[in-house]
Amino acid sequence: MIRLLIAAPSAIVRAGLESVGAQGAGIQVVGASGLAGLSAAVDRYQPDVLLAAVEAHHDEPPEDLIALAARDGAPAIVVLAPDLQSTWTGDALRSGIRAVLPGDLGAREILAAVEAAAAGLVVLHPQDITALVADRPLLPAAQLQTLTPREIQVLAMLAEGHGNKTIAWKLGISEHTAKFHVASILSKLNAGTRTEAVTLGIRRGLILI
């Protein structure tokens, strides 16, 4: 059972998202909160996933969400936001937020994102993936550096949503070595984020999903 916490500045939006969450098989809505005091709500309800809706005037991910994503043992965070820009999405992903999606999604898409985030996956709208890749142009083939077999293995784990600790455990290496592999992958693929690296790896046929 996925424990889901709802967060939004508006009580009306919170009620609507609670209704959506209640439709999900295997999902239990454990509570709702405003964006202020969100950390305390997470401590109280201990959710697996936080579904947070933010308002249109936010030019960057709210500080409360950024701080929460950086906490040890933080829930997977799914953000619904209108008028997304690729820079906003990139900042959110770098902070550890697992999903960034348009605010006008239907119930089925929202529930799918919650389930995917709970499984450790990163979820983006197709237009955001395109924008993120466009913001960081592909290097000419002659300038590309070849990934080692180990780096391709790590890249595949990034595509599955694993963090450095999990990668280190699965491969029987230190967390420091896992971080080194990730940094090398980002550098070789000319990627600014893990999500960009995965997207580029898929486009170049390095990994399959």
pLDDT score of 135: 52
Q: Say yes or no: domain 139-203 is CATH 1.20.1740.10.
A: no
pLDDT score of 129: 57
**DSSP-derived 3-state class of residue 182:** helix
CB contact set of 75 (below 8 Å; sequence gap of 6+): 5, 42, 47, 48, 49, 50
Q: What is the pLDDT of residues 155-172, one digit of tens each?
A: 889 888 888 889 999 888
What are the domain boundaries of the chain?
Answer: 2-133, 139-203
The answer to whether residue 20 scores a pLDDT higher than 90 is: yes
pLDDT score of 1: 92
- 77 pLDDT band, cuts 50/70/90, is very high
pLDDT score of 42: 93
Sign of CA dihedral 35, 50, 117, 15: negative
Residues 2-133, CATH architecture: 3-Layer(aba) Sandwich (3.40)
* Residue 44: its H or E element: helix 38-45
Contact 14, 52 (CB under 8 A): no
Q: What is the pLDDT of residues 54-68, one digit of tens each?
A: 876 555 567 778 778
What is the C-alpha R_g of the chain?
A: 17
What are the Cα distances from residue 87, in Å, to 54, 77, 92, 108, 209? 16, 18, 9, 26, 25
pLDDT score of 44: 94
Structure tokens that stand for 122 in this block: 């990163």
**DSSP-derived 3-state class of residue 77:** strand
CB contact set of 61 (below 8 Å; sequence gap of 6+): 54, 79, 88, 91, 92, 95, 97
